Amino acid sequence: MKKNSAVNKILSDGTNKLSSKRVAAFVLLIMFIVVVIAHMFFGLPIDDYVFEGLKDTLIFSLGFVGAEKFSDALSKQKNDAPKPETEEDFI
């Protein structure tokens, strides 16, 4: 697989390393699509708890992937914040 392929770009974080959260979300998405297609077109019965569990897990994993962007911004903001002043600074 090429280093700059589209799938690699989608699954990597801002530092061009594969993100385990994104890989897990991608695998869950493929599984969800397979389950829905199997149920709709081939008539395979899918238990409600399996479908709901897969759906909820996919939603949560996509939420964690989305939170990556904000956690990076918050950690940079925290590191750039000025240090609190102490009494020794005034003496």
Spell out the domain ranges in the chain: 6-79
The CA–CA distances, whole Å, from 53 to 22, 28, 32, 46, 78 equal 18, 11, 10, 12, 36
Q: What is the pTM of this model?
A: 0.69
Mean pLDDT by 10 residues, the chain (91 residues): 71 80 92 94 92 94 84 64 61 58
Q: Give the per-residue pLDDT at 26.
A: 92
Q: Give the per-residue pLDDT at 79.
A: 62
